[in-house]
Amino acid sequence: MATLKEIRVRLKSVTNIQKITKSMKMVSAAKYAKAERELKPAKPYGEQATGGGYMNLSMKDDDETEMIIALTSDRGLCGSIHSSVVKAIKARLAEKDDAKLVLVGDKAKAMLQKIHGKKVLGHFNDIGKAPPVFQDASKIALSAIDLGLQDYTRVTMYYNSFKSVVAFRTLKVPLPTKNNMTGAENYNLYDSIDDEVLQAYNEFTLATMVYYGLKEAQCSEQSSRMTAMDSASKNAGEMIDKLTLTFNRTRQAVITRELIEIISGAAAL
The whole-number pLDDT of residue 175 equals 87
Residue 204 has a pLDDT of 87
Phi, psi of 205, rounded to the nearest 5 degrees: -65, -40
* One-letter identity of residue 66: E
Round to the nearest angstrom and report the end-to-end CA distance of the chain.
32
Residues whose CB falls within 8 Å of the CB of residue 37, separated by 6 or more in sequence, listed in order: none
Q: b/e for 69-99, b at 16 or more Cβ within 10 A?
A: bbbbbbbbebbebbbbbbebbeeebeeeeeb
Distance CA 174, CA 260 (A): 77
The pLDDT of residue 50 is 60
Within 10 A of 177 (CB to CB), how many other CB atoms are there? 22
pLDDT of residue 240: 96
pTM: predicted TM-score of the whole model, two decimal places: 0.85
Distances 116 to 41, 100, 170 between C-alpha atoms, Å: 36, 9, 20
Decide the pairing of beta strands 100-104 and 120-124: parallel
Written as one string, the DSSP assignment of 30-48 is HHHHHHHHHHHHHHHHHHI
**Among 216, 195, 158, 212, which Cα is nearest to 50's?**
212
Is-contact 23 230, C-beta < 8 A? no
β-strand partners of 158: 70, 172
**86 neighbors 116 (Cβ within 8 angstroms):** no
* Residue 78 pLDDT: 92
Binned average pLDDT, 10 residues per bin, the chain of 269 residues: 88 96 95 93 76 51 80 92 95 92 94 92 87 92 90 90 92 82 61 73 87 94 95 96 94 89 78
Task: Give the per-residue pLDDT at 269.
Answer: 65
